[in-house]
Amino acid sequence: MVWTGMTSMSLRPLAVIGFDADDTLWQNEHYYRLTERTFVDLLAGYAEGRNISERLLEAERRNLSHYGFGIKGFTLSMIETALEITEGRVPARVIGDILGIGRELLSHPVDTLPHVHETLEALTGDYFLVLITKGDLFDQERKLAQSGLGDFFDAVEIVSDKTATTYRRIFSRHGDGPERAMMVGNSLKSDIVPAIAAGAFGVFVPHELTWVLESVEKPVEAPRFREIDTLRALPELIASLG
Ligand SMILES: [Mg+2]
């Protein structure tokens, strides 16, 4: 028998696993919500809380295509909202406070979510693990460094958006394409739907807090859609693929 260099490893249904970072590996949205609460308090004299939050969300939605995802864009959207709500009368001191809470958000503690460490430890070495995240470059690099999870990953991709094209490119660069790749994350819109559209598996791990702009319908009909309650269930799910 002549071996052609194909090993059992290269025949496995999966070679590359992409992991989202925010609210998949560590807490993120929780800190945004705390900051938003402080922002609402800062503007309490000008409008009702719910109205302030709605206006902020509108500003964020408008600004996504200009600023992209992340804390810097969020801070600019808070300032814009403050100007709007006060019809330009917001005191400079309050603008200073908004910049301050934005900066604070950039240094929030990195709380790794349950079972992340053990799951990455179980998979690293057997699969090519790539962290795929959007957001501010500095912020994501800081969080990865502080999480202590960096050594589990073979590659890190900090991207401006997560589309099917993004996943096709990343899974081709680090493997042999989306066919033998999987994306794991808490956002149906960014992690799951586009990864499945690219041809990969999409494993949805819901987080109790998910930004409204990240929610779309679950692709329950897609053959490559999976859902697990916790990352702990991931190695077993992978083993079940064959
Ligand atoms: Mg996420």
CB-based contact 152:120 (threshold 8 Å) = yes
What is the full DSSP assignment across 26-83? B--HHHHHHHHHHHHHHTTTTS-HHHHHHHHHHHHHHHHHHH-SSHHHHHHHHHHHHH
- Average pLDDT, stretch 161-182? 97
What is the 100 CA–ligand 1 centroid distance (Å)? 24
CB contact set of 31 (below 8 Å; sequence gap of 6+): 105, 108
Residue 106: predicted pLDDT: 94
What is the 205 CA–ligand 1 centroid distance (Å)? 10
* CA atoms of 25 and 19, how far apart (whole Å): 8
Global pTM reads 0.90
Q: Which amino acid is at 178?
A: P
| Confidence category of residue 8, pLDDT binned at 50, 70, 90 | very low
What is the 190 CA–ligand 1 centroid distance (Å)? 8
| Confidence category of residue 31, pLDDT binned at 50, 70, 90 | very high
What is the 93 CA–ligand 1 centroid distance (Å)? 33
Give percent of the chain with pLDDT exceeding 90: 87
Residue 184: predicted pLDDT: 98
Specify the range with the lowest mean pLDDT, choosing from 74-83, 144-153, 209-218, 219-228. 209-218
- Average pLDDT, stretch 152-163? 95
Residue 135: predicted pLDDT: 86
Distances (CA, A) of 225 to 126, 196, 199: 22, 7, 11
What is the 200 CA–ligand 1 centroid distance (Å)? 18
What is the 23 CA–ligand 1 centroid distance (Å)? 5
| Confidence category of residue 10, pLDDT binned at 50, 70, 90 | low
Any idea which residue has 């992690």 for tokens? 191
Distances (CA, A) of 210 to 42, 109, 144, 188, 237: 24, 19, 20, 10, 23
* CA atoms of 20 and 61, how far apart (whole Å): 21
Give percent of the chain with pLDDT exceeding 70: 95
What is the 4 CA–ligand 1 centroid distance (Å)? 41
Q: Give strand pairing partners of 242.
A: none
What is the 55 CA–ligand 1 centroid distance (Å)? 23
- Average pLDDT, stretch 91-115? 96
| Confidence category of residue 1, pLDDT binned at 50, 70, 90 | very low
What is the 206 CA–ligand 1 centroid distance (Å)? 9
Domains and CATH numbers, the chain: 7-27+110-240 (3.40.50.1000), 29-105 (1.10.150.240)
Would the pLDDT of 165 be above 60? yes
Residue 176: predicted pLDDT: 93
Residue 217: predicted pLDDT: 92
Length of the chain measured in residues: 242
| Nearest residue to 25 (alpha-carbon basis) of 104, 137, 136, 119 | 119
Would the pLDDT of 65 be above 70? yes
| Nearest residue to 199 (alpha-carbon basis) of 224, 169, 162, 166 | 224
